[in-house]
A and B are shown apart, each in its own frame.
Chain A
Amino acid sequence: MTVSVYEEIAFWILGPLSLAGALGMLFSRSAVHSALWLVLTMLSLGVLYMVQDAPFLGIVQIIVYTGAIMMLFLFVLMLAGRESSDSVVEVLRGQRIWASLLGIGLAGLVVAGVARSLGDVTPAGLDNPAANGSGGPGNVANIGQSLFTRYLFPFELTSALLITAAIGAMVLAYTRKQAKGGKNRQREMVNMRFRENTRPGALPGPGVFATADSVATPALLPDGSIAKESLSRIIETTPVTQIEEDEALADRHPDAHALTGAARDGDDGASIVASPASEERSE
C-alpha cells in the first residue's frame, strides 16, 4: 500500500484539524461553538474521503451532514437562545457509568476495525474497474448501480422509514391552532377588524402627525387628539402615564400641541414641540 505525497500532505493537514474539531466540540462551553467544531470535523472528514478516491462519499458527507443535519442543529440551538447552557444534573440514573462503558466498547470496536484494515486486507482500489461492478471505473456509477439493483429493497425501506418519521413529526407538530377555525389567518383578522367597525385602518405609528418623530412623541389623530395606541407601555421614555394623569386632571383630551415635555421639568419654557407650523394651525 503506497501513499502519495499529496495524500500525505492532505492527511497531515486534515487529520489534526478533524481531531481539533472533535476536542473543541467536547470542551467548548457554548452549544453553538460545539456545533461549529463538529462542522469542522465533518468537513475535514469529507475532504479526507475525497482524497481516498471516494469523491461522491466526501461530497455527500458535506452536503448531508454539514449542509442539512448540522444546519438543523444550529437552527434549534439558535432558537433556544444564546444564553442557554447544558444543565449538569444527571437525569438518567447511572448515565455516567453506562456512557463510559459503551464509549470504551465503541473505542475498542473502532480500534479493532482499523487494526484489521491495516493488517490483512489488500485494498481493491476504487478506481480499478476489475474491483468494481459493471458500472466502469469511478464510484458514482457504481454506487448508483448497487443502490438501485442489489440494495434497492433496503434503500426503499430506509426512505419509507424516513418518510414515516417526517409525517409523524408533522402530525405531532400540527396542533389545533393551525387547523381551520383555530388560529385566525391574516384574511380573517382583516375581516374581523372591518366587521367590528372601530378602526378600519392600521394603528398609527409613533410620531405620525405629531411635531416630532421620536417614539416618545404620541401620534395625533386627524382631529388633533392623542392616539394613545401609538404609545408603548414597554418603552419607558414614552409618556403614557403622564398623559393619563393629564387626562384625568383635565377631564378632556389634552391639546397635543401644548405637550411641552421640557417645561414640565422646570425648564425655561423652551418647548420641544411648539413649532411655528403647529401654532399657525392652532390659531
Chain B
Amino acid sequence: MSARELIANDPTWLSLVKAVLVFALLLVITILLIWFERRVLGRMQQRPGPNRVGPFGLLQTVADALKLAFKEDIRPKLADNWVYFLAPAISAGAAFLAFSVIPLGGQVNLFGYQTSLQLADMPVSLLVVLACSSVGVYGIVLGGWSSGSPYPLLGALRSAAQVISYEIAMGLSFVAVILFAGSLSTGDIVDAQGQGGVWYAFLLPVSFVIYVISMVGETNRAPFDLAEAESELIGGYHTEYSSIKFAMFFLGEYVNMVTVSAVATTLFLGGWHAPFWLGGVGGGVLNTGWWPLLWFLLKVVFMLFIFVWLRGALPRMRYDQFMKLGWKVLVPVNLVWIVAVVAVRTMRNTGVGTAQLLTIIGIVVVVVLAIVLLLPNRPAASDVEEVPVTGGDHPLPPLDLEVPKVPKRKPVAAAPAPELSAEEEGVPDGRA
C-alpha cells in the first residue's frame, strides 16, 4: 500500500497525535540544531562553542530560549499593531506547516494502527511545500513593513525579492524529480527512489546542486543572509522585534532550515530509505519498522551540516551578485538541464539503446564544445584612463601622495582634577 492510502485510513485522533508529534519533533530538532550550529561553527573557528549549560552545552539553547521569553516586549511607536503581531506568527506557522507532508518513515504500527510515518500526503504534496514557503515570506515582509523603521523595511524588500527569485530556481529543480518519479506526492517520490534503487541526487546531480543553493537562498541563511545582514541592516526585518516575537522569527527560520533539509532528503537523498548498501542487509530489514526514522534524521542532519558549513566558510554575497546568480545562472542552467533530461527520457522511452544514447550525447557535447571554441573572444577593454590594479583586482592608491604637515599643537589648558587622578592610576583610555 502506498503512503497516501495508509494515511487516508487514519482516524482523526491519530492525525492529531501525529500533528503533535511532528510539532514536538521540530521543536526538539530546532533546539538541538542551534546547539549543533554553534558547536560546529566553534570548531571551525578554533573555539569551543557553548559548553557550560548541561553536558557539552546541550541545554544552552533551552536557557537562551527561557531568557528570551522573559525579556521586555518592545513595540515601536510607529508600528502597525495588528500586523506587527501577526508577522512572527505567520513566519513560524508556515514553516511548521510545510513539514506536514514530509515522509519520516515507512509503514509502522502506531497505537495499534498500521500507518505511515507521515502526517499528510496529497497528490500535490510537493506544491504544498512551495505554497508554505511563499506564504512564509509574508511573515518577513509584513514584519519589516509593520515595524515602521527603515532598516526592517529594507530587509523585508530584499527578502521578498530574494525569496521570490529563488523560489523559481527551487521550483524548477523539482521538475526533473517529478519527471522521474511521475508524481507530485512526497510519499510516491520516496517509493520511486526505493524501487529504482538510485537516489535522485546521483541521477539528477544538477537539480540537486541547484536545489541546495536555492534552499540556502530561500531560508535567508549565510552566505545569502542579505535580508538580515547584521553589518548592513542591523538585523533586517526583525530589527525592531524583541522577546517572544523575536523568538518566533528565530524559530521560524530554524524550522524552515529543517524543512528544506527534509525536502532535500525526500526528493534527492532517498527519503527514509537506508543509505547505500545498508538497504540490502538482512533482506531489507533496515527499511522496515522504526529504522527509517533514523536514516531520515541522519540525512537531515547531513543537510543541516551543509548549512552550517556554508555559514562558517563563505562571506556574505553582495545583493546584485546574489540576484545575478539566481536569475542568470541557476534558472537558465536549470532550464537547459530539464530539456536535456526530457530528451534522454524520451529517447529511452522510445527504445533507444544505451550505446546509441551515449553516442547522441557525445555528438551533442562535441557540437556544443565546437560552437564555444569558435565563438570570438570578447575584446579586452582598452580604457586609457584605467587605474592600475593589482592581481587582486583592487585599485592601488597613487604612489605620489603628499603627507600633510602636522600642525603645531597647543597644550590643553587646565585639565580638571578627577581626570588627572585617572591618569595617575594609569587608566589607558580615560573617558570622562
Residues of A within 8 A of B (CB): 30, 32-33, 36, 39, 43, 50, 55-56, 59-60, 62-63, 66-68, 71, 74-75, 78-79, 82, 138-140, 190-191, 194-195, 197, 200-201, 211-212, 221-225, 252-253, 255, 257-258, 269-272, 274-279, 281-283
Q: For residue B235, give the distance in angstroms from its CB to the closest CB of chain A.
A: 18
- B80 is an interface residue with CB less than 8 A from chain A: yes
CB distance B145 to A78 under 8 Å?
Answer: yes
Residues of B within 8 A of A (CB): 80, 82-83, 122-124, 127-128, 130-131, 134-135, 137-138, 141-142, 144-145, 148, 153, 156-157, 160-161, 164, 167, 184, 385-387, 395-398, 401, 404-407, 409-412, 414-416, 418-420, 422-423, 427-432
Sort A-B residue pairs by CB-CB distance and give the 5 closest, nearest first. Answer: A67-B134, A276-B423, A200-B397, A59-B127, A62-B131
CB distance B419 to A255 under 8 Å?
Answer: no
Secondary structure of the A contact surface, majority rule? helix
> Which A residues touch B82, using CB under 8 A?
33
CB distance B148 to A224 under 8 Å?
Answer: no
17 additional A-B residue pairs with CB within 8 Å, beyond A78-B144, A275-B431, A277-B428: A55-B123, A63-B131, A67-B135, A74-B160, A82-B148, A194-B387, A200-B401, A201-B397, A222-B404, A224-B409, A225-B407, A271-B412, A274-B415, A275-B432, A276-B415, A276-B423, A282-B412
CB distance A257 to B412 under 8 Å?
Answer: yes
Contact with B411, one of A66, A140, A283 (Cβ below 8 angstroms): A283
CB distance B164 to A258 under 8 Å?
Answer: no
A74-B141 CB under 8 A given contacts A275-B429, A275-B431: yes
Can you name 26 A-B residue pairings with CB atoms under 8 Å?
A: A36-B142, A39-B138, A59-B127, A62-B131, A66-B138, A67-B130, A67-B131, A71-B164, A74-B160, A75-B160, A78-B144, A82-B148, A194-B387, A195-B385, A197-B401, A200-B397, A223-B405, A223-B407, A224-B406, A269-B414, A274-B412, A276-B427, A278-B412, A279-B411, A279-B423, A281-B409
> Which B residues touch A66, using CB under 8 A?
134-135, 138
Compute how far the CA of A42 lies from the CA of B193 in the bound complex, rounded to whole angstroms. 35
Closest residue of chain A to B396, judged by CB? A194
CB distance B141 to A274 under 8 Å?
Answer: no
A63-B385 CB under 8 A given contacts A224-B409, A276-B427, A279-B415: no
Q: For residue B374, give the distance in angstroms from its CB to the closest CB of chain A.
A: 26
> Which A residues touch B410, using CB under 8 A?
255, 258, 282
Closest residue of chain A to B136, judged by CB? A67
Compute how far the CA of A211 lies from the CA of B412 in the bound complex, rounded to whole angstroms. 14
CB distance B131 to A59 under 8 Å?
Answer: yes
**Most A-side CB within 10 Å, residue of B157, B386, B419:** B419
CB distance A78 to B157 under 8 Å?
Answer: yes
Closest residue of chain A to B425, judged by CB? A276
Contact with A75, one of B157, B167, B404, B412 (Cβ below 8 angstroms): B157
> Which A residues touch B145, using CB under 8 A?
32, 74, 78, 82
> Which B residues touch A257, using CB under 8 A?
409, 412
> Which A residues touch B409, using CB under 8 A?
224, 255, 257, 281-282
> Which B residues touch A223, using CB under 8 A?
404-407
Compute how far the CA of A222 lies from the CA of B410 in the bound complex, rounded to whole angstroms. 16
Compute how far the CA of A252 lies from the CA of B410 in the bound complex, rounded to whole angstroms. 13
Q: For residue A262, give the distance in angstroms from its CB to the closest CB of chain B.
A: 9
Q: For residue A256, give the distance in angstroms from its CB to the closest CB of chain B.
A: 10
Q: For residue B22, give the distance in angstroms from its CB to the closest CB of chain A.
A: 19
Closest residue of chain B to A276, judged by CB? B423
Compute how far the CA of A194 lies from the CA of B397 in the bound complex, rounded to whole angstroms. 7
CB distance B128 to A276 under 8 Å?
Answer: no
Q: For residue A4, give the distance in angstroms from its CB to the closest CB of chain B.
A: 13
> Which B residues touch A139, using CB under 8 A?
123
Q: For residue A95, give the distance in angstroms from its CB to the closest CB of chain B.
A: 30
CB distance A71 to B137 under 8 Å?
Answer: yes
Contact with A258, one of B160, B396, B412, B422 (Cβ below 8 angstroms): B412
Compute how far the CA of A71 lies from the CA of B414 in the bound complex, rounded to whole angstroms. 63
